[in-house]
Amino acid sequence: MTTTFRRGLIAAALLGTAPAALMAQDFTPENPECIAPANPGGGWDFTCRQVGKTLQDLDLIPSTMQVVNLAGGGGGVAFAEVVNKRKDDNDLIVAASSATATRLAQNAYPGNTMDQVRWLGSVGADYGVIAVSADSEVQDLPQLMEMIKNDPTSISIGGGSAVGGWDHLKVLIAAQEAGIEDVRGVKYIAFDGGGEAVTQLLGGSLQAFTGDLSESTGFIESGDIRVLAVLAPERLAGEFSEIPTAKEQGIDAVGANWRGFYGPGEMSDAAYDYWSGAIDQLYSSEEWQAIMEANGLAPLDLQGEEFQAFVQESVNEITELSKEIGIIQ
């Protein structure tokens, strides 16, 4: 894994912006809507629902946020829907993450590029996890990696992103750092959302799960899954402090998934200012800071042009990483 990529993720978690901007007064959404580009239960679904509820609680939107799950293509179905059919819809925002940047970096959204939408803002960074079911015989990350090394076909790892997507890349980064020479032999199975992948894990179809901490929290609290490692540079604070990092287990893998939103490419400037301002005020609120803490989200506070530049940098770095690991030429 490139040091640039790792540095970029860690540095991103330390960035901040100016105090909350004043809300634009010349636009108000009539029917606010958030598209989650996956089935219920995953990280994009979490982002839409938590942000939508908090925006309403803070009176930053005039009515309930309608959440629409539009799964497929690792976010590609939703991206194409916005670009082709809803390119001037001012009421619409779409949940995005490092998984979105990954698919864009790998040209996995046919005919679509990041400049066809407007990037609104971020709401935090979500560290990756590698987990097993609570009754699994696997006790730690090195043991899992040793099993893969000995017989790659014996371990199926599932995640909520497409093959070559961000959940897949996190496992490959860990495998590479664990000394597995041909990481393309790692058996990864893609699902339309992390919740679906965990269901398959609990049903016995998978031996491990790769996802993000926020989408895993409910399953951790219920005792259904056991996290082998969090892909953070150091242990997280609070209720997640018992989860070991991959790094302390001798596998120097770090993977932070930024979470944020984009809007349609022909969204008006007034609507763009409204939504980026609303996300800025949401981020600064005590309510959102409490949600971040409860779900293990790290700081990442970027809006407007700063966020656009950050996403571009993410796409550039993931392109480099994908070439290094052999996902793309």
pLDDT along the chain (329 residues), means of 10: 44 40 68 96 93 97 97 94 97 96 92 96 95 97 97 96 90 94 92 91 97 92 97 90 96 93 98 97 97 91 95 91 84
285 in the same domain as 239: no
139 in the same domain as 30: no
265 in the same domain as 171: no
∠69-75-81 over CA atoms, to 5°?
Answer: 75
Which of 249, 279, 298 is the C-terminal boundary of a domain?
A: 249
Q: Which two tokens stand for residue 68?
A: 């629409």
94 with 261: CB under 8 angstroms? Answer: yes
- Residue 295: other Cβ atoms inside 10 A: 20
Q: Any idea what the CATH number is for the domain that residue 193 is in?
A: 3.40.190.10
Which of 198, 233, 249 is the C-terminal boundary of a domain?
A: 249
Measured CA to CA in angstroms, residue 328 lies from 17, 141, 150, 187, 192 at distances of: 34, 27, 26, 17, 22
261 in the same domain as 243: no
239 in the same domain as 131: yes
Domain residue limits at 109: 3-126+257-325
3-state SS, residue 217: helix
218 in the same domain as 266: no
Q: How many domains does the chain have?
A: 2
Q: Give residue 21's pLDDT.
A: 38
Q: Give residue 324's pLDDT.
A: 82
3-state SS, residue 92: strand
Q: Any idea what the CATH number is for the domain that residue 9 is in?
A: 3.40.190.150
Residues 6+ away with beta carbon under 8 Å from 197: 158, 159, 160, 167, 189, 191, 206, 209, 210, 211
Q: Give residue 7's pLDDT.
A: 41
120 in the same domain as 8: yes
268 in the same domain as 307: yes
286 in the same domain as 179: no
pTM of the model: 0.79
Single-letter code of the amino acid located at 265 = G
Cα(235)–Cα(245) distance, integer angstroms: 6
Cα(148)–Cα(170) distance, integer angstroms: 15
Q: Give residue 162's pLDDT.
A: 85
206 in the same domain as 152: yes
Which of 209, 228, 249 is the C-terminal boundary of a domain?
A: 249
284 in the same domain as 272: yes
